[in-house]
């Protein structure tokens, strides 16, 4: 069994070495030059290799080598960019952010959240509801301009569990009901990168891309 494992490791190392050599621009150029010299040494004296053909082959290998070097450079830049993104993301750890969602965050007897409306509203109401949909309180926020708004809810009089509380927004302009986007508040607890994108982990358990943040609070 030890011998088999050793042989397997040796075979894997050899395969990796061959793969690295195959992708190495310098190794590819060296193989090309060896083949070209062999071709020149074995050419038919009565029908020598055409200069234009030789020039074309040299240009092709230079192009391939350049592309391989460019790919290596781009991969290195991508890795550095990912590291930079994560470093920038760590500055958000501990900050509160607003993202799309209907969850109500309650801390120290105060619930906080937000919403967006596409047009000015003559009246805005926010209903705080349980996970089952029961309304536990209603906030009258009055008229609101177009755009993003934050609000707070005094939860000190609420005796039930605040875990899982949600909210819904009702905005109208006269007799016209306006569409609204609910924004939930949560704290950033960690930062990382996935497929070249900065990913933030929130205290509510969700993972979001940086582009999903609507606002820092």
Statement: residue 17 has pLDDT above 60: no
- pLDDT of residue 12 exceeding 50, the answer is no
Q: Determine the 3-state secondary structure of 34 from DSSP.
A: helix
Give the pairing of strands 121-129 and 166-173.
Answer: antiparallel
Q: Are 161 and 97 in contact (CB under 8 A)?
A: no
**What is the pTM (predicted TM-score) of this model?**
0.61
60-91 residues labelled b (16+ CB within 10 A) or e (exposed): ebeeebeebeeeeeeeeeeeeebeebeeebee
Closest CA to 115 of 63, 139, 151: 151
**Facing residues of 199 across strands?**
192, 209
d(CA 44, CA 46): 5
Summarised one tens digit per residue, pLDDT across range 105-154 is 999 999 999 999 999 999 999 999 999 999 999 999 999 999 999 999 99
Rg over alpha carbons for the chain, rounded to the nearest Å, is 32
Parallel, antiparallel or unpaired: strands 181-194 and 96-100: antiparallel
Q: Is the pLDDT of residue 3 over 70?
A: no
pLDDT band at 165 (very low <50, low <70, confident <90, very high): very high
Give the dihedral of Cα atoms 195, 198, 203, 205; nearest 10 deg: -20
pLDDT tens by residue, 67-88: 766 676 666 665 565 656 666 7
Is the pLDDT confidence value at 11 over 50? no
Q: Which residues touch 85 (CB under 8 Å, ≥6 apart)?
A: 193, 197, 198, 210
């Amino acid at each position: 069994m030890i011998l088999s494992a050793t042989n397997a490791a040796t075979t894997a190392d050899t395969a990796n070495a061959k793969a690295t050599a195959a992708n190495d621009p310098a190794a590819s150029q060296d193989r090309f030059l060896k083949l070209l010299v062999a071709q020149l040494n074995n050419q038919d004296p009565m029908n020598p290799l055409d200069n234009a053909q030789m020039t074309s082959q040299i240009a092709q290998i230079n192009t391939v080598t350049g592309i391989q070097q460019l790919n290596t450079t781009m991969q290195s830049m991508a890795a550095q960019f990912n590291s930079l993104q994560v470093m920038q993301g760590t500055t958000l750890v501990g900050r509160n952010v607003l993202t799309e969602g209907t969850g109500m965050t309650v801390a120290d007897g105060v619930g906080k959240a937000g919403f967006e409306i596409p047009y000015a509203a003559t009246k805005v109401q926010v209903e705080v509801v349980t996970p089952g949909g029961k309304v536990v309180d209603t906030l009258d926020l009055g008229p609101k301009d177009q755009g993003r708004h934050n609000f707070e809810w005094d939860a000190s009089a609420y005796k039930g569990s605040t875990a899982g509380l949600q909210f819904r927004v009702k905005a109208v302009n006269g007799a016209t009901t306006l569409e609204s986007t609910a924004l939930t508040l949560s704290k950033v607890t960690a930062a990382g990168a996935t497929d070249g994108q900065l990913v933030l982990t929130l205290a509510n358990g969700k993972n979001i891309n940086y582009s999903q943040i609507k606002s820092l609070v």
